[in-house]
Amino acid sequence: MQAIRKLVRFARLAEWWEYKLCPLLAVAYATLLFSEIPAYKFVGCILLVLLAIAMGAVYVSLINDITDIEEDGRAGKRTGIMGVPSQWRWILPVICLAGGTAVCWYLWPDWHSTIWYVMAWISFSLYSFKPFRFKQRGIWGVFADAGGAHLFPSLFVVSVIFHQIPEQANVGWELSVGIWSFSYGIRGILWHQFVDRENDRGTGVRTFASFVSQSQARRLEWPLLGVELLAFGSMLWYINLPIVYVFLLGYGLVVWLRIRFLDLKPIVFLIPDNRPYQMIMLDGYQVFLPLALLAHIALTQPWGWLLLAVHLMLFPIGIKRLISNLTYIFPSLRRL
């Protein structure tokens, strides 16, 4: 059990498990609906996708911590990997690479999916490793992180499923997913970089956020969100399920309740000073969209409720956060 806890800490599962995987699974569930084959028959495919992406996420968490040891030390920041002797630090990343290679071998001759999967790993590596180290090369670091964490994994998910149902493959859907995921990924890494901005400046790490002013970044916010929402609107057009619109309206209501009763300011990626905030569409993509799609599957397909139950067991944090917010808000609503 202690070894598992150490692995969870080293791999920083709490930072990416739901944040990265739930939107990707939402893409998977939506892509399954292009076929009339029941979703439960694709469980093996979904598990492969989940395992493959999780290995990549563990890999990038480990190599980020290893390659950031010098900067983290100067900033006085302690990470779990610092306690591991230097001769042992690379064992887990190498194991992840071996696992990723095995996934590619299993996928072949599905070259389309293999390319997207390999591109994610290449992006991760370019972001962290010298002499490339795109993390310190301004906008290239933003693109590398967004590509490795969101764009290429999303296209990988779509490609793997369409390989199983080639007659349903849809280029328009892939394009919409690609633009949406890349835009959302850019927002995510910009938020992260602006949170770490002062530390990065203090240690000489030249991320995009470290040399861009707040006013310059603010001019990027709404155009970036606009592109993301246009692409998401295109995805909704392809999905075209009333239950999804109902769930997203529910998300909009939650956003308003959080503003009204919790003073949570909606943000694109720039964090406000001395005020709690909520990132626009974060819970929409992580919680409401996958649950809406699974609710549709549960209501219309055999064994759908089992898929929904498994998803809730694997990804409970967003639901718990939502319940916690609403539990706090409801007494205030009754007093109105």
Whether 97 is covered by a domain: the verdict is: yes
* Distance between CA atoms of residues 277 and 318, nearest Å: 16
Backbone phi and psi for residue 335, each to the nearest 5 degrees, phi listed first: -80, -10
Q: What is the pLDDT of residue 11?
A: 66
State the Cα angle at 13 between 8 and 18, rounded to 5°.
Answer: 150
203, 75 in Cβ contact below 8 A? yes
pLDDT of residue 80: 64
What pLDDT, on the 0 to 100 scale, is given for residue 330?
86
pLDDT at 199 over 90: no
Percent of the chain at pLDDT > 70 equals 91
Distances (CA, A) of 151 to 41, 59, 147, 252, 301: 26, 17, 5, 25, 29
User: What is the arithmetic mean of pLDDT over 246-261?
Assistant: 97
Does residue 248 carry a pLDDT above 60?
A: yes
Q: Is residue 266 part of a domain?
A: no
Q: Are 329 and 67 in contact (CB under 8 A)?
A: no
Report CA-CA distances (Å) from 114 to 72, 163, 167.
Answer: 34, 11, 19
3-class DSSP state of 297: helix
Tell me if 172 is assigned to some domain: yes
Please, are residues 294 and 29 in contact by the beta-carbon 8 Å criterion? yes
Has residue 326 been placed in a domain? Answer: no
Largest CA distance in the chain: 62
Is 273 inside any structural domain? no
Query: Domains in the chain: how many in total?
Result: 1
Q: Angle at which helices 43-67 and 152-164 pack, to 10 degrees?
A: 160
Tell me whether residue 103 is in a domain. yes
Give the structural domain span for 6.
Answer: 2-240
How many CB atoms lie under 10 A from the CB of residue 327? 9
pTM: 0.93
**What pLDDT score was predicted for residue 332?**
75
Assign 12 a pLDDT band (cuts: 50, 70, 90): confident
Give 317's pLDDT tier (boundaries 50, 70, 90): very high
In a domain, residue 193? The reply is: yes
In a domain, 101, yes or no: yes
